A and B are shown apart, each in its own frame.
With several copies, the nearest count.
Chain A
């Protein structure tokens, strides 16, 4: 039963090539606010490592690994504040399931998912006719292709094609999201087996990214508490901060358990309602954890936590930029309630 642990270990070890083990954030810092906000070369490297096909079934040419392996990888990438849009790319590959061109399959061309119809909503069906508008497209600035999800299915469109318009806007973490308008009369719509499942997997993956990010932020903060002195004492010896730090650890471990046990349940198979309830539970915790970490990291670091010079500043900016993507805690609390009432009915 525990083959996944070995798989996950290997994947996480290989991740060190992209997110260095020494934890240096120089690459991350350098890419901020310079479009596209990430490195297409590193993205291609990610493709070379096979990660983009991680969750794609073997019959579609993917690795067919489960959500536990996927979550393990995303935790490692979150720890490294990876700016490349991996969750969105995984979703795009999952939706198109091996049907894209080779340059997309292997990551030389960045393909991200364009699915979201409205802010803080998981609706993706879009309008059945007329222009298609997709919001909050991660990594849009550097993407050469988009997997556009709508009621009709999924369409692979290329940046620069007629009728494809992308406007980008910077996030606080220095990456850029995009708004995609597809006014081309009729792209080729491919059928999608289970878009809801794919989206739930993306939500879970993004939660794992937030877990890794939060873990990193908490580690940096604990390090600071050990060395920073006030009133001739390391501030980590002050009981009020100790008790708050213990709460960070509690929330971190709750989030980790929720993610990996939910991933295991998804791998075993769940009804749509139970899956929605479980995944929304996870995303609520992960978003809450990231924001709690951000608040406490700033407060415990004091003024330095509000600057962009310190590593913790990068972590905080990443947290506030990413916590609500794939749905805010508010959205997911409501979704959890509705889905669990339905599955209990």
Chain B
């Protein structure tokens, strides 16, 4: 288990009212912030950094009170609305800031604010803010990926404890986390979505085992987590017993829009062009034609993305059609990476970037693009959902 720093290592400071700023002022504020405070760790990494690498940046964000941008100020967040949050993301990405271990700030925090007890909020939220707790998400199982309703991990009440048996997989950076929230079946007599509960588990509890999964690039971004008669106190339950499904599918607010942001595709398109120019073939009209098709897709996606962001800014509810963004973005990202592979020729298959220049690394881009159509709702499941909830097509 990775060591974490002591509680209170990153004391938050009082913050200005960001929402009262103009967009441009806020953008400049963020830009100055990252330029002044980004630590000496990698920028523009195509894979997730491990905790040991990214910890200094988490520390800065925590110390400055910037670690939970969307949390209300009363809870220690920046209190940003979607418009300002988008600016923050844009500026972080422009600078190439590494993505921190953000399951606590992005996922668990908002869920606890909505469904947690006062005691749970009081205990866990500050530990996320300080970086004392790094959370992992335990939803997927070997036989329940996109199909969460058929999960098999069980939790049985035994005296003052829940006893958990089962296995989670595709747990992002689970090796770096000290806590994990899971979905477990607490009533096996009912089917599907019913009978599932939401539980909080320390990773160092006896019976928890973690095994990293190496991806094709040799990185271990994911792991399996095994639970063998793991006992956690009864107050580890969030929400009601057998009501975990509602929590898991609770809306993630504007995160659902941001997951379809055009930046991954836009960055890949820039790399495609960079590679073509480096190879001195960008003047090939056939390549320009294919490049232009991809560029038009990126720009139209940007327009659609901004239309959704405008809706968010206007306080409109985002419907299930927001899936359009994620489906199109992820498939576009892959199409760009496919073109990059073809263009790279024999160097497409290199393990390390050509000339040490990550912008020329076709295989890196191709591999990085693969999980985007699988995780966060596979494209197939999202198209099923669109057919049902957006197009009102019949089910079988």
Contact = CB atoms under 8 A, between A and B. Distances in A.
Direct contact of A and B (CB under 8 A): yes
Contacts of A229: 143
Interface in B292-306: 292-293, 295-297, 299-301, 303-304, 306
B349 A303 contact: no
Given A303-B145, A306-B374, A324-B345, A240 B383 contact: yes
A261 to B, nearest CB: 4
Contacts of A313: 216
Given A170-B351, A328-B345, A334-B286, 20 more contacts: A170-B350, A170-B352, A222-B391, A233-B394, A240-B380, A254-B300, A254-B301, A257-B304, A291-B338, A291-B342, A303-B145, A306-B371, A308-B218, A313-B216, A317-B216, A321-B349, A323-B349, A324-B341, A337-B295, A340-B295
Nearest to A230: B147
Given A306-B371, A337-B292, A328 B396 contact: no
Nearest to B393: A236
B349 A333 contact: no
A330 B341 contact: no
Contact of A232 (B150, B352, B373, B386): B150
A257 B348 CA distance: 27
Nearest to A321: B349
B351 A172 contact: yes
B299 A281 contact: yes
Contacts of B303: 254, 257-258, 261-262
B46 interface: no
B217 to A, nearest CB: 8
A306 B344 contact: no
A305 B300 CA distance: 30
Given A237-B395, A250-B327, A243 B300 contact: no
Given A302-B378, A306-B367, A323-B348, A257 B387 contact: no
B175 to A, nearest CB: 15
Interface in A287-326: 287, 291, 295, 298-299, 302-303, 305-309, 313, 316-317, 320-325
Given A237-B395, A291-B341, A120 B346 contact: yes
A165 B366 CA distance: 32
Contacts of B384: 239, 242-243
A333 B293 contact: yes
Please report whether the interface of chain A is mostly helix, strand, loop or mixed according to DSSP: helix
A250 B346 contact: no
B386 A249 contact: yes
Interface in B348-368: 348-352, 363, 366-367
Nearest to A173: B349
Interface of A: 33, 116, 119-121, 135-136, 169-173, 177, 222, 225-226, 229-234, 236-243, 245-246, 249-250, 253-255, 257-258, 260-262, 281, 284-285, 287, 291, 295, 298-299, 302-303, 305-309, 313, 316-317, 320-325, 327-331, 333-334, 336-337, 340
Nearest to A278: B299
Contact of A306 (B215, B306, B390, B395): B215
A46 B315 CA distance: 37
A236 B394 contact: yes
Interface residues on B, range: 35 or more
B370 A324 contact: no
A249 B319 CA distance: 14
B7 to A, nearest CB: 34
Given A116-B346, A120-B345, A336 B292 contact: yes
A139 to B, nearest CB: 14
A52 B27 CA distance: 43
B245 interface: no
A67 B383 CA distance: 33
B120 interface: no
A316 B392 contact: no
A6 B9 CA distance: 54
B146 interface: yes
Nearest to B348: A324
A320 B341 contact: yes
Contacts of B394: 226, 233-234, 236-237
B216 A307 contact: yes
Contacts of B144: 230
